[in-house]
Amino acid sequence: MGSRCYSFIGAILVGILMFHGFAHAEKAPAIAYYDYIIIGGGTSGCPLAATLSQNASVLVLERGGSPYGNPNITNIENFSNTLSDTSPTSPTQQFTSEDGVYNARARVLGGGTALNAGFYSHASTRYVKEAGWDETLVNKSYEWVEKLVVFKPPKVEYQVAVRDSLLEVGVLPYNGFTYDHLNGTKIGGTIFDKKGHRHTAADLLEYADPRKITVYLHATVYKIFFRYNNGTERPQAYGVVFKDASGVFHKAYLTKNSNSMNEIILSAGAIGSPQLLMLSGIGPGDHLQAHGIKVVLDQPLVGQGMADNPLNILTIPLQSQLKCLWFKLRASLGLVTILKQSVD
Q: Which of 5-9, 168-172, 204-208, 274-278 has the lowest mean pLDDT?
A: 5-9
Average pLDDT over residues 187-196: 95
Grouping H, G, I as helix, E, B as strand and the rest as coil, residue 81 is helix
* Range among 35-39, 70-74, 77-81, 330-334 rated most confident: 35-39
Grouping H, G, I as helix, E, B as strand and the rest as coil, residue 212 is coil
pLDDT tens column, 219-278: 999 999 999 887 778 899 999 999 999 999 999 999 987 666 799 999 999 999 999 999
- Omega before 173 within 30 of 0, i.e. cis: yes
Grouping H, G, I as helix, E, B as strand and the rest as coil, residue 324 is helix
Measure the CA–CA gap between 252 and 241, rounded to whole angstroms: 6
pLDDT tens column, 73-105: 999 988 888 888 888 889 999 988 888 888 889
| pTM (two decimals) | 0.85
pLDDT above 80 (res 338): no
Domain boundaries, the chain: 17-150+193-313
pLDDT at residue 11, as a whole number: 36
Q: Are 270 and 112 spatial neighbours (Cβ–Cβ below 8 Å)?
A: no
Report the run of H or E that residue 65 belongs to, with start and end. none
Q: Which fold has domain 17-150+193-313?
A: FAD/NAD(P)-binding domain (3.50.50)
Q: Give the pLDDT band (50/70/90) at residue 56.
A: very high
Q: Give the pLDDT band (50/70/90) at residue 9.
A: very low
